[in-house]
Structure 1
Amino acid sequence: MQKLGELTENLKTQVEERNAEAERSFHETLTRLNASLTQSVHDELRTITSAMARDMDRLRARQLDALDRSWHRAALLSLIILAVLALTSFALGFGASLILNGRQQRIREYSRQIEQQKQTLETAKSWGIQLHQDSNGRFIVLPKGITPNTRWSWDGRPAIKLEE
């Protein structure tokens, strides 16, 4: 029976050794799988991180391009608005200048006409001519001894020649 005990003992030892070997082999396999899985996860994370970085760089570049275009558009629009304002101001100033110039010419012409009328009145007074207006109408009163001759015209207007 000793042999059976030894055999049982040997079998038990062999089973324990095989179990230990299987456990070591299983543990090594799990360790290799864990290392392999960890390496795969790290590789995948690097790939994803790299792809995300490239995508972020592209997005940043697009945003900078869009911002640059927006800035250029805003600057161009501002220049256009300034140009329109400058041209409008110039046109208004030029128009106002023309209006003022026209008014100054009319004032000069009115002043010339007034001066001419003053001279005519002074001349008429020195000749003894008077202007009179009442309910019967308007009259030119001539000095005694003067005869009016109305067949005359002056500068396209009717005129009276005074004859003694």
Structure 2
Amino acid sequence: MEDQKGNNSTTSAWLLFGLSGSGKNYVADVLASHYGWPVYHADDDITPAMRRALAEARPFTEQMRDEFFQLLADKINARLQAAQDGSTPTGPLLVTQGVYKNRHRHYLQSRIPGLRLLWIDALPQVIDRRLESRCEGISADSARALVKDFEAPAVACARLQNNSDAENIISQFRAIVS
């Protein structure tokens, strides 16, 4: 059941995942501004090994990814606990992270009670335009190379098309939570 602020009472957090350039951070920021919910951009907390790999233009290993998602589950649960204790803003936590693999999405759902998946998608030409205009983060060439690694969700989940403006994002999200 949805309340007036779009909060599904059984949802503790939304995991916004998808390809680089799909606009996960933008969508989370739009929803946070509209609903007053907290946002956690998980790429801010990649591991030191991942930071070294990025600096050396090396791909992440499966071991690096597995370690990251273990730490990420703990960090999300800690943030949710802080919200329950009243020390941080309330409302579902909006978490942004690519989470390209089904096994990592499943892992997070198994470790975080009330976590719902929200696949952020966009048209390929929109993603390309966004990647080309970026000043920081993953390069457009690297993001294009990673497209083949992305696994479409193995289980049904909500999907939001981020091809336009904030009003459209909010409208789509309202339809998802109703």
TM over 0.5: no
Rg comparison, structure with higher value: 1
Q: Normalised by the size of structure 1, how large is the TM-score?
A: 0.17
Q: Which protein is richer in helix relative to its size?
A: 1
Q: Normalised by the size of structure 2, how large is the TM-score?
A: 0.16
